[in-house]
Amino acid sequence: MSYRFADPWFLGLLLLLPLILFWILRRGRRRNSSLRFPHVGSLKKAYKPMAARSRHFLVALRLVAVGLLILAAARPQSGATREEVTAEGIDIVLALDLSSSMLAQDIEPDRIEAAKQVAADFIRRRTNDRIGLVVFASHGFVQCPLTLDYGILLDFLDELKVGLLDDGTALGMGIATAVGRLKESEAESKVLILLTDGRNNAGEIDPATASQMAQAFGIRIYSIGAGTRGVAPYPVDDPVFGRRQTRIRVDIDEEALRQAADVTGGRYFRATDRESLEEIYREIDELEKSEIKVNQFTQYGELFPYPLALAIVLLLGELGLSGTWFRKIP
């Protein structure tokens, strides 16, 4: 809440109040009258010392009333400051690999669960962006279209698991499916965050062609290769010995992922553990910030009726007291 005077130059009249006081007191002394009485005993009985000593109270009332009238003339106002926020969001599609190799446990608890959890944290940090979800294995599939309903999006993300699609790594189809969701977007910035742990071995479109499609529609690709270097632990269900761990070779097509990022003006990242994966998403979050414009304005309301009303009450009170309790004998 803020306060101001719309016409503050009227406040300069307050400096005249001492002159007005001097004028009133001097005028009062000049108007004093005297009467001669042969006997003053009856006057002594009628004399009210308290009333006589309090006649200056009328002068105070008049001065306060004049001061309030000056304040009212200066038009005091109270204002409430408001902000009008205009946000220009970014359209983002998350594309996650659901091939069987995403069950490898080099990124705790395993690659797919870590990818889901870190992506969920990324979604919760966004505010004004539409976000969609694409998954791919042997082919690409839209799990959730672009939406601002992050609750629904997080539910779809939580339902993801390896085996929803036939096995394979259709990296090109994953990119192409995401491009299909973003190409009609009217957002100023369109982003694809692509996470995979393998190389393209399925689908009708190769990663290079799909990346050129993304470039043509102004889509920036941030590609992430998920997996340690060398070999990674991988769970296997053995019908005889039950679940056991074996080791598989990590085979990420970093060249294709780097090319997809470079051709679209994005970046390639390598996540070898949970901490590096979290840091990658935080970095992307900083790179892709929504533009927010804040227009601040203050709406003022008039307060002058309050001092004006009080001044009128004081003037009426002064007139009433001067004609009754503080009445002078001519």
Give me the pLDDT at residue 249, please.
Answer: 95
Instruction: Give the residue with greater pLDDT, 259 vs 52.
Output: 259
In whole angstroms, give the CA distance from residue 111 to residue 98.
10
Nearest to 177 by CA among 100, 115, 95: 95
Domains of the chain: 2-31+41-81+297-323 (no CATH), 90-289 (3.40.50.410)
Assess whether pLDDT exceeds 70 at residue 330.
Answer: no
Token couple for 328: 């002078």
DSSP state of 127: S
Give me the pLDDT at residue 230, please.
Answer: 94
Give me the pLDDT at residue 77, please.
Answer: 83
Interacting residues of 84 by C-beta distance below 8 A, sequence separation 6+: 294, 295, 296, 297
Model confidence pLDDT, tens digit, residues 272-317: 999 999 999 999 999 887 665 545 566 777 887 888 888 788 878 7
CB 252 within 8 A of CB 196: yes
Residue labelled with tokens 């698991």: 161
Model confidence pLDDT, tens digit, residues 80-120: 766 555 556 799 999 999 999 999 999 999 999 999 999 99
Rounded mean pLDDT of 316-325?
72
Assess whether pLDDT exceeds 60 at residue 329.
Answer: no
Model confidence pLDDT, tens digit, residues 3-59: 788 888 888 878 877 887 777 667 655 555 555 545 555 545 554 555 545 566 777
Rounded mean pLDDT of 199-205?
95
Give me the pLDDT at residue 45, please.
Answer: 52
Q: What percent of the chain has pLDDT over 70?
A: 81
Q: Which DSSP string corresponds to 143-194? A: EEEEES-HHHHHHHHHT--TTSS-SS--HHHHHHHHHHHHTT---S-EEEEE
Token couple for 262: 């470079």
Rounded mean pLDDT of 147-175?
96
18: cis peptide before it, omega within 30°?
no
On average, the pLDDT of the chain sits at 85
The letter for the amino acid at 198 is: G
Assess whether pLDDT exceeds 90 at residue 165.
Answer: yes
- Report yes or no on whether pTM surpasses 0.75: no
**Pairing of the two strands 130-136 and 91-97:** parallel
Question: What is residue 28's three-state secondary structure?
Answer: helix
